[in-house]
Structure 1
Amino acid sequence: MSRIALIGAGITGVTTAYALAQRGFEVTVFERHRYAAMETSFANGGQLSASNAEVWNSATTVLKGLRWMLRRDAPLLLNPLPTWHKYSWMGEFLRQIPNYRANTVETVRLAIAAREHLFSIAAREGIDFDLERRGILHIYKNRKDFEAANRVNALLREGGLDRHPVTNEEIRTLEPALQDEFHGGFFTPSDSTGDIHKFTRGLAQACVRHGVEFNYDTEIVSISPGTNGRFLIDVRRDHESLSGTFDQIVVCAGVKSREFAAMLGDHVNVYPVKGYSITVCLDDDKSRQAAPWVSLLDDSAKIVTSRLGTDRFRVAGTAEINGFNRDIRADRIAPLVQWTRRYFPEAATSRVIPWAGLRPMLPGMLPKVGQGRRRGVFYNTGHGHLGWTLSAATAASVTDSIERSVRR
């Protein structure tokens, strides 16, 4: 059976390694961190959300982004300093606006397909990841935003998603902890939440049980064609230089995927779009009672929430186009804390853990899944803000592509 090198042990890399191992492939994973799920898969918003599948390539989003440029606390922030990567990506992003509808519908379909894959994997391998299957509630303060969401809802339903409107009174019934008045909302009962880091680490352990080899603390130095169509990979680990040969390569390297694609003769224009989260530690009974269990998405603030077990509440959001900057900025964390205090005033925010991560985004907002230009090269990357939501489906898809390639 083919020997496969897989680059990256985030959520897409680990789900792909698992899918390949289930089909009998010999898989070696290369990861530059000491453990799996240490970058974008560490502390995201926690949502498994087909209801958040709308792509960002719309004139409305662009106009909002221009208005937000003068606000340091804006949901979307652009560092205007020019770089070729940034502005080439933005140019491709704008050219994808005509595909907004088709890409949104396709993303919904992928998300729905991924859901059952992920749940079956977790059940089969006994992975505990604080799963809550209580749905996701989108909330809107005014009629204008609600009506805009209703237009998006038509696309989500076209993709097969059951998401229905709810009144302010129904919002109170669905999540009594939420404090405020709303024009209305949309509720998706089939969506869910959980801890992506716990899931990915648990799945990596399952991969090891199924024969996958993980090489942590390992930097890939170069990739070059070997003999008989194979690939030679040179790595550095513990100050040692090592090399190995492989029949196929799968790039699941998140924001580093563009760099590896260039080594392999492909243009995969992934850009790092930074997001922030806080984990609110619910240290007392009053806070645990005051925090919500139903997952929320506030569309105007671009903030999502997840309850992670009894004593943690995750609040995440914002997008920052600022290159490979991983700094945790106080002025970007503050809106998340203020939002929590506004809607859940009895939940203490005295112990809040901030985090920032880089989402690997392609200009069209759909991931790159399948074969590259060179035979034996495959990609499963560029999932943006929906990496966890889509990962199980794209892992199955790229595994299908590899199987077909091997049979030729």
Structure 2
Amino acid sequence: MRRRKERTMKVMVLGGGVIGVTTAYFLAEAGHEVTVIDRQKGPALETSFANAGEVSPGYASPWAGPGIPVKAIKWLLMKHGPLVVRPAFDVHMWVWLAKMLRNCTAERYAVNKARMVPLAEYSRDTLKALRETTGIAYDERAKGTLQLFRTQKQLDGTAGDIEVLKTYGVPYETLDPAGCIAAEPALAAVREKFVGGLRLPGDETGDCKMFTDRLAEMCVARGVTFEYETTIRRVVKNRNRITNVTTDKGWKSADAYVMALGSYSARLMRFLKRPIPVYPVKGYSITVPIKDADAAPVSTVMDETYKVAITRLGDRIRVGGTAEISGFDLRLHESRRRTLEHSVGDLFPGGGSMRDATFWCGLRPMTPDGPPLIGRTEFSNLYLNTGHGTLGWTMACGSAKVLADIISSRVPDINVRDLGPERYLK
């Protein structure tokens, strides 16, 4: 039987994105007094604002894997390549890249994926349970993900991926062009542009921003306090405990603290002299109003050639992609927009009104090995929930539930022993 702390704690969650808000929700459900601090005017206005919209446990894989260094060179040379590196005099960038390259072996890939898949599947199930108990709606669909292959070489290269899916019991379907069209009827108009696909029927889609907004409202109804437009300047320690957080509106204290600031978590941890290897990898998206519903995707299509996700969100198409390593630079580069427009225009011509599309970018908090950082730090009352990379939306509910259990001295439903920061000390 699970134990619950008798004393209700005051818990301060630093960060109001999807990770911070889901953490606040499950902490409140566990009976704690929760305050969320964020510098924006509302929830989910940074990395969670316009992501690709996928809840995809089947694609929960480390970026670092065998063959990636060679592929990276090819991607950098492509006109619409999925990878961009903008070199800078930033020691953290180069150290992070070196650590990522160190993880590009078959052995490390297997270990890291084994840490990610259970969390991603648990998170999907937690999201489903949340939806059933609260009725939360966020333009969600449960119609799977189709990974689309334009070349036979790509299709032939799925054997390794399929073995991994089998190992973890992830449902999948290998499809010929007719099967792809059955799953995504609009692809019939461009039948000559692909040779087959790999479909994961258990994946879902949904608007992460809409979800976070509505969950924040539910948090308020459960007594959670949100302090927006409040900039966190530093976290103050005394020996092995955090004593308070200094903000532009004065200092604030709690019994426990959760660092859920995405890429910016690393900066505050460096001030505490406990660095974590989380670095921003910028992603881009365009949101396109649907012009012809019959010519638009039904769910999510992954364009394998350009590593672009094309997702149906209500009356919009969200097109997301690119891994740009350029530090905390939030400039919008038009070349990235052209790549996204090329992919969706090539596969779903006429589906959306491209001239009315909005362009966005966000900083994904990436670890060099892939799994996020969830758990207590070396400080007795400071916890991490960051480093989810491209899987923040996929892993949000599971990560939050696990951390709420840890803070509440409960045994989590899944084993998360290797997700804590101590794995980098080994």
Relative to structure 2, which stretch is displaced further, 32-41 or 390-399?
390-399
Tell me which residue corresponds to 2:211. Answer: 199
Of residues 83, 95, 103, the one that matches 1:88 is 95
In the superposition, the TM-score normalised over structure 2's length comes to 0.90
Tell me which residue corresponds to 1:151. Answer: 160
Deviation at 1:263, TM superposition (A): 3.2
1:281 and 2:266 correspond: no
**Retained in 2: the 8 A contact 1:180–1:343?**
no
Deviation at 1:248, TM superposition (A): 0.9
Distance in 2 between the 1:227 and 1:405 partners? Answer: 26
Tell me which residue corresponds to 2:328. Answer: 324
Q: Residue type matched to 2:218 in 1?
A: A
**Retained in 2: the 8 A contact 1:112–1:161?**
no
Tell me which residue corresponds to 1:255. Answer: 263
**Retained in 2: the 8 A contact 1:106–1:159?**
no
Tell me which residue corresponds to 1:35. Answer: 42
Relative to structure 2, which stretch is displaced further, 225-234 or 73-82?
225-234
Distance in 2 between the 1:228 and 1:363 partners? Answer: 27
Unaligned runs of 5+ in 1: none
Tell me which residue corresponds to 2:223. Answer: 211
Of residues 261, 280, 288, the one that matches 1:272 is 280
Alpha carbons of 1:265 and 1:397: their partners in 2 closer, same or farther (altered >3 Å)? farther
**Retained in 2: the 8 A contact 1:104–1:156?**
no
Tell me which residue corresponds to 2:365. Answer: 360
**Retained in 1: the 8 A contact 2:240–2:380?**
no
- State the SS of the aligned residue for 1:306: strand
Deviation at 1:48, TM superposition (A): 0.4
- State the SS of the aligned residue for 1:121: helix
Relative to structure 2, which stretch is displaced further, 116-125 or 328-337?
116-125
**Retained in 1: the 8 A contact 2:67–2:104?**
no
Distance in 2 between the 1:371 and 1:264 partners? Answer: 14
Distance in 2 between the 1:344 and 1:180 partners? Answer: 11
Q: Let me know the Cα RMSD of the aligned residues.
A: 1.8
Relative to structure 2, which stretch is displaced further, 72-81 or 243-252?
72-81
Deviation at 1:235, TM superposition (A): 1.3
Alpha carbons of 1:205 and 1:57: their partners in 2 closer, same or farther (altered >3 Å)? same
Distance in 1 between the 2:275 and 2:212 partners? Answer: 28
Distance in 2 between the 1:180 and 1:87 partners? Answer: 42
- State the SS of the aligned residue for 1:14: helix
- State the SS of the aligned residue for 1:45: coil
Q: Residue type matched to 1:130 in 2?
A: D
% identity of equivalent residues? 35
1:403 and 2:408 correspond: yes
**Retained in 2: the 8 A contact 1:274–1:356?**
yes
Distance in 2 between the 1:328 and 1:71 partners? Answer: 19
Q: Residue type matched to 1:378 in 2?
A: Y
Of residues 198, 204, 207, the one that matches 1:186 is 198
In the superposition, the TM-score normalised over structure 1's length comes to 0.93
Of residues 51, 59, 72, the one that matches 1:52 is 59
Deviation at 1:125, TM superposition (A): 2.6
Distance in 1 between the 2:320 and 2:240 partners? Answer: 48
Deviation at 1:293, TM superposition (A): 0.9
1:305 and 2:310 correspond: yes
1:232 and 2:240 correspond: no
1:391 and 2:396 correspond: yes
Q: Residue type matched to 1:74 in 2?
A: G
- State the SS of the aligned residue for 1:62: helix
Q: Residue type matched to 2:181 in 1?
A: R
Distance in 1 between the 2:110 and 2:147 partners? Answer: 20
Of residues 375, 400, 420, the one that matches 1:370 is 375
Relative to structure 2, which stretch is displaced further, 221-230 or 95-104?
221-230
Relative to structure 2, which stretch is displaced further, 181-190 or 69-78?
69-78
Q: Residue type matched to 1:254 in 2?
A: G
State the number of aligned residues: 398
**Retained in 2: the 8 A contact 1:265–1:373?**
no
Relative to structure 2, which stretch is displaced further, 54-63 or 225-234?
225-234
1:223 and 2:235 correspond: yes
Unaligned runs of 5+ in 2: 1-7, 412-426
Tell me which residue corresponds to 1:140. Answer: 149
- State the SS of the aligned residue for 1:131: coil
**Retained in 2: the 8 A contact 1:359–1:385?**
yes
**Retained in 1: the 8 A contact 2:56–2:204?**
yes
**Retained in 2: the 8 A contact 1:273–1:323?**
yes
1:243 and 2:251 correspond: yes
**Retained in 1: the 8 A contact 2:241–2:379?**
no
**Retained in 2: the 8 A contact 1:72–1:332?**
no
Q: Deviations over 1:309-349 (max 9, x none)?
A: 1x211111111001111111111100111112211122232
1:161 and 2:170 correspond: yes
Distance in 2 between the 1:228 and 1:62 partners? Answer: 40
